[in-house]
Amino acid sequence: MGVTGRLAGGIAIVLLLSSPFTAFVSSWVFGTAQAGIAVALIALYFATNWAHFGQFASRRSTSYFLISMATGLALLGALAAVNVIAYRKNVRWDLSKNHIFTLAKQTKDALQKMPEPVRVVTFIPSNAGGLRDRVEPLLNRYQREAPEKFAYEFKDPARTPDLVREYRLQPGQPAAVLLRGEGDRQQRLLVPIYDGLTEQDLTNALLELGGGAKRNVYFIEGHGEWPLTPKEGGAQAERMLSMYKLEQALSSEGYNALPLNLASKGDVPDDAAGVILSGARSPLAEMEVAALERFLARGGRMIIGAEPEVDEGLSRLLEKYAVQLDDGMLADSQYMHESIYFLVVAPEFFSDHPIVRPLKGEKLNLAFPTARGLSILREGMLPGVTTLPLLTTSPNAWEETTPNETPQPSSGEKAGQIVLAAAATRPVPQQGGAPARETRLVVIGDSETLTDAMLTFEGNLNFVLNCLAWITDQPNRITIRPPDRDLSTIDMTPDTVAQIRFFSVALLPITLLCVAVGVWIQRRNK
């Protein structure tokens, strides 16, 4: 019984000393239970080893034991001090696959460039389950990034009916209200909350707050262009050949996406912040081309997405801005994706233009499934036009003039690094001494880049939206946006979390330590 008692005493010391740790990392229930077991084991030790206390105190091993105990306590104290310092310094590492706990560059830039603090009042009913637990970590990341410019608080709409009326909230609809300024100068923006609040929603709201009315972007139609809405009842591949994803992205970034039929309108509306022509399958009429020329001549902004083997009727317009659409389809024997025509443009083939500079810094590839090359002209353009390449192919590319299933470079075909996208500018003097307005034009050699299928690539989405931000004079939106982050989460109750912590952080290490103490006591008694 003496050996059993001594074994129980050794284990009791381990359990008693570690019970505060268990209570801290798991719950006070487990910590209290552990301390109770330790007290019971100590009682067993006293009951079976009462006669040996005098001998124990006189042994040399006792002093060694006390020194070991003091060393262990000092080590525990040092570990506690390190944890306190780490907590106060608030050092964090995001080891998740898609960096779901790290704010995107666009978000960080938006927070740093906010001219004045923004306060977010989040209205979530008390019976909304774990909605607050899903929203608060995101708001907390924003506050940690810019504590002097971003603050947030939560309100229960049932307990604050006056605020619900003031902010004109829908009954029962969780929402975040962004507030900037005070009194009569205060600006407000409401962001509905459904299953949660995404970083892109919140960042776009920050950028829109105080940015004025939404800008109108017109999509030309009437020539077989990619539609703004998916084809009803079509196959999945057909449904992906629309610009619905782009329309949704534009709406979230503060634009209105509107259709424009130049044949019926006769001219581009004066409120057009930009015009997009993407995927025309037949030539534009002369009067439509003339309308676009007038629009650009007065400082208009435009994006053109071309397609191989299609004559859009834009040769005259493009030549005025030093761009020529080449014949044939681009092929590449090395930088390809699904086929030799499906080009992958690596960051080393990006220029230093503001549109692609962020993508180059983040090393994001771009994808072009069916592209045609561009040539930048050196003569014949309008006075003052400056045209620069945005992207080029790799040196292994060539223009296949007779596309087939087994393309090979042939004599007379253009080869090498071929321009895939270009940006043109031209200053336009204004009447009455007003500052000159700048015409801006982006030409992309593959209109499919703007379709839903291609915008699933993070690089393509940022490239297209950066082009639009550039032509509409919004440099703060030329950035890398938060990617679509698929969260794989498991909802756990606080009790479940406590149990997992107890078994993984407390029970397992303490059990191993108890086994080690038991082995030491057994060997000592041999």
More confident residue, 206 or 211: 206
Q: Is the dihedral of CA 344, 345, 347, 353 positive or negative?
A: negative
Whether the model pTM is above 0.85: no
CB of 419 closer than 8 Å to CB of 377: no
Assess whether pLDDT exceeds 60 at residue 474. Answer: yes
**67 burial class (0-12, 13-18, 19+ CB within 10 angstroms)?**
exposed
Amino acid at the residue 517:
V
What per-residue confidence (pLDDT) applies to 487? 43
Least trusted range by pLDDT, from 91-100, 152-161, 325-334, 451-460: 91-100
Instruction: Work out the average pLDDT over 81-104.
Output: 67
Assess whether pLDDT exceeds 80 at residue 508. Answer: no
Instruction: Work out the average pLDDT over 79-101.
Output: 65
Of 308, 268, 300, whose CA–CA distance to 420 is shortest? 308
**CA angle at residue 349 from 348 to 352, to 5 degrees?**
85
pLDDT digits over 160-188, tens only? Answer: 989 888 888 888 789 999 998 887 778 88
CB of 392 closer than 8 Å to CB of 368: no
Q: How confident is the model at residue 488 (pLDDT cuts 50, 70, 90)?
A: very low
What per-residue confidence (pLDDT) applies to 494? 66
- Residue 385 corresponds to which tokens in the numbers above? 């036009």
What per-residue confidence (pLDDT) applies to 207? 82
Percent residues over pLDDT 70 in the chain: 79
Place of tokens 């005259």: 316
What per-residue confidence (pLDDT) applies to 460? 94
Least trusted range by pLDDT, from 22-36, 305-319, 366-380: 22-36
More confident residue, 217 or 488: 217
**CA angle at residue 99 from 128 to 117, to 5 degrees?**
65
Assess whether pLDDT exceeds 70 at residue 421. Answer: yes
What per-residue confidence (pLDDT) applies to 1? 57
Mean pLDDT of the chain: 83
More confident residue, 496 or 257: 257
